[in-house]
Chain A
Amino acid sequence: MKEDGKMSKKIKVKAQDVNVFYGEKQALFDIDLDIERNQVTSLIGPSGCGKSTFLRSMNRMNDTIDICRFEGSITLDGTDIYDKNIDVVELRARVGMVFQKPNPFPKSIYENVAYGPKIHGMVNNKEDLDKTVIKSLKRAGLFNEVKDRLDESGTSLSGGQQQRLCIARAIATRPEVLLMDEPCSALDPIATAIIEELIDELRQKFTIVIVTHSMQQAARVSQKTAFFHLGKLIEEGATDEIFTNPINKKTQDYIMGRIG
């Protein structure tokens, strides 16, 4: 019993029997997965295996797709996020997201980061807002590069800077979980390295789930790895285990580069 309590304290997000459909087509089959607090969990698998769909289920971004249907349950700190009483706006404030392609708003760098705190009324005055913006930019490792041009448009930054701006924007609302959908796929190796370091630091504060196509990246940044294939969760476990000693044949094949 004591052991159980400890476990549930460690678990931030718990998915049970998750099935997701796009119209007639089923994209996810009976997914059970626990995401641990203050850990980086990476979701790997070939394209179209449902890892992004699963990620988007965790902050209900799939709601924006008309034909998408969800079955099963996902709990955040023990509360079912698909419950009728859950306010999806509040949920997304607690579960932030960074997208594959950097998508800064066509506003100034400052306004991009201030957007979340403003709409959630998290700050009472300009000084607080300034502090939040600067803190978020610093934490995203972008502040030194943009401190003299906070008024410039966010879209004027380079790709890697834009993605860090999006990370700063996401953490400015102080989420508990940060979902990252292939955040480095559009970036060069140097920008990727910067963001990977950042992810490791952010782990102190947030619970992170990252979808990635790069096995090396999964091995470098995550403590836990889950392998998806054709909408099914094939194997999950400690990253070291999955990469050195996979149990399932399919996982082996994927990691060795034989499928995918």
Chain B
Amino acid sequence: MINVLTMILLFIALSFGIFLIGRYRALKICKGKIRLLHSKPVFHGSYLAIISLVPAIILSIIWLLVSHYLSQAYVISMLGDSYNILPKAEQASFLRQAAALANGSSFGEPSDLLKLASNYFSQFLTNGNMIVAALSAIFIIGGFLFAFKNITLKKRVRQFVEKAILALLICASIVAIITTIGIVLSLIFESLRFFEKVPFFDFLFGTNWSPQSAFEGAGDQASARNSEVFGAVPVFAGTLLITLIAISIAAPIGLMSAIYLSDYASKNVRAIAKPLLEILAGIPTVVYGFFAALSVAPFLRGAGENVGFTISSESALAAGFVMGIMIIPFVSSLSDDVINAVPQSLRDGSLALGSTKSETIIKVVLPAALPGIVSALMLAISRAIGETMIVVMAAGLAAKLTMNPFEAVTTVTVQIVTLLVGDQEFDSAKTLAVFALGLVLFCVTLALNIIALGFIKKYREQYD
């Protein structure tokens, strides 16, 4: 890792140096009269740096990415049979140990075979590094000489540099997009593996969720398993219930405080109240979580007892209530922005017709701001669906199919956490269920976003 860091620093230092040389050269050629140059000296400097360094940088990145696999293949081919006779399960850990040994970490007394393998490793990596370094040096020097010759009064390097910047921007977007696609694909493929073990419809429409009691047969009964413990309906019902409670608290409170802040509050009140409200968004969710579990839940239970309701100590109500408070700033802050964006001329028009302030807001301002308000609500709902910490602490673990907010329910996110905490085998149905849950959750939020976007498109009004 130290090597990578020095390499990055070296490249940065080199690019600065070469840039300065190019700029200096351009200045010298035009004898200080920049007007004579087609492209300004900075472009010449950048041009020189790009031509010299980019090929070497690309080579180094490729080497970093593939050297691990190449070295493994090399070691395996060199060891030959003495590697192949190792049990399959040990091969991977053997290679890992050898690589670690080659990196200088030691543990116990390594076997001779391990020593040999680690020697091959370091041999391959050292030689490889040398070759890559030599090639890079050739690229840098060759590129530098080639580009340096091109620094003339007439050379049009400006266009080249602009194109290089475009390429850089495209690369950045591609990285972001590929990451997204990668996550979605891994969700889909792992889910497919899960659906090989548990039928799709058993998962989506089953009403019994108790994955801890899942078993998979061994030996003769390798195909035996109880798939009917993976019915996801109660889990999604729990998420739905808690989200509903949260949004029915956050929507009215958030919207009304947004209206107050944008249309009623004086400048001074607004300057203080708006940041205060946004602080709510900055509180870590884990704090909300123990607030829900330790303060709100006991309070609700006590209050329920007084009026004759039985509220369990971990209830959907407590979790939903606290989650609602957590997402208030999403609703209020975004709604406040869109309500403010409604032109004053519309308010004036309504007031001049003799309507009161509240009539103006209800009949003119809110309809005009509706698309923005809907997207604020959708964002808040997505937050609520994906929220984990509060429900882990306050909602409960048992998957019970109920719509009674006084009982404990569990949510998708809670189940994902419970399934992944502790030691796991990575190909058991229990672990793979996580991917299926994640996939369905992803589809739900995606659908919500698409609906919201469609709604906004349909009702967007042109006012200006």
A119–B345 CB distance below 8 A: no
Tell me the complex Cα distance, A155–B463, Å.
7
Tell me the complex Cα distance, A92–B350, Å.
10
Tell me the complex Cα distance, A104–B348, Å.
11
Tell me the complex Cα distance, A91–B359, Å.
16
Tell me the complex Cα distance, A106–B266, Å.
27
B209 to chain A, nearest CB (A): 47
Tell me if B182 is interfacial: C-beta within 8 Å of chain A. Answer: no
Of chain A, the residue at the smallest CB distance from B356 is: A89
A120–B354 CB distance below 8 A: yes
Contacts of B364 in A (CB 8 A): 105
A64–B345 CB distance below 8 A: no
Contacts of A120 in B (CB 8 A): 354
Tell me if A107 is interfacial: C-beta within 8 Å of chain B. Answer: yes
Partner of B355, one of A97, A101, A119: A119
B368–A99 CB distance below 8 A: no
Tell me if B349 is interfacial: C-beta within 8 Å of chain A. Answer: yes
A103–B353 CB distance below 8 A: no
Tell me if B286 is interfacial: C-beta within 8 Å of chain A. Answer: no
Give the residue among A91, A96, A115, A120 with the most B Cβ atoms within 10 A.
A115
Tell me if B132 is interfacial: C-beta within 8 Å of chain A. Answer: no
Contacts of B359 in A (CB 8 A): 119
Of chain B, the residue at the smallest CB distance from A92 is: B354
Tell me if A132 is interfacial: C-beta within 8 Å of chain B. Answer: no
B346–A105 CB distance below 8 A: yes
Tell me if A252 is interfacial: C-beta within 8 Å of chain B. Answer: no
B356 to chain A, nearest CB (A): 6
Contacts of B349 in A (CB 8 A): 99, 103-105, 166, 169
Tell me the complex Cα distance, A120–B353, Å.
9
Tell me the complex Cα distance, A59–B348, Å.
11
Of chain B, the residue at the smallest CB distance from A97 is: B352
Tell me if B367 is interfacial: C-beta within 8 Å of chain A. Answer: yes
For chain A, give the interface size range.
20 to 34
Q: A66-B266, A105-B368 given as contacts; is B352 within 8 A of A92 (CB)? A: yes
A92–B343 CB distance below 8 A: no
A173–B348 CB distance below 8 A: no
Partner of B353, one of A66, A106, A153, A169: A169
* Cβ proximity bits A6-39 to B, threshold 8 Å, 1 near / 0 not: 0000000000000000000000000000000000
Contacts of B355 in A (CB 8 A): 89, 115-116, 119
Give the residue among B347, B352, B462 with the most A Cβ atoms within 10 A.
B352
Contacts of B463 in A (CB 8 A): 106, 155
Q: A103-B343, A106-B368, A115-B363 given as contacts; is B352 within 8 A of A153 (CB)? A: no
A209 to chain B, nearest CB (A): 13
Of chain A, the residue at the smallest CB distance from B459 is: A106
* Cβ proximity bits A70-98 to B, threshold 8 Å, 1 near / 0 not: 00000000000000000001111110110
Tell me the complex Cα distance, A91–B266, Å.
25
A96 to chain B, nearest CB (A): 7
Tell me if B58 is interfacial: C-beta within 8 Å of chain A. Answer: no
Q: A106-B368, A106-B463 given as contacts; is B353 within 8 A of A170 (CB)? A: yes
Tell me the complex Cα distance, A116–B27, Å.
71
Give the residue among B346, B349, B353, B363 with the most A Cβ atoms within 10 A.
B353
A106–B354 CB distance below 8 A: no
Contacts of B363 in A (CB 8 A): 115, 119
**14 A-B contact pairs sorted by A residue (CB < 8 Å):** A61-B352, A66-B266, A92-B352, A92-B354, A99-B345, A103-B345, A104-B349, A105-B349, A105-B350, A105-B364, A115-B355, A116-B353, A119-B353, A169-B353
Apart from A64-B347, A93-B353, A99-B348: 14 A-B pairs, beta carbons within 8 A: A61-B352, A64-B348, A66-B267, A89-B355, A92-B353, A103-B346, A105-B367, A106-B368, A106-B461, A107-B367, A115-B363, A155-B462, A170-B352, A170-B353
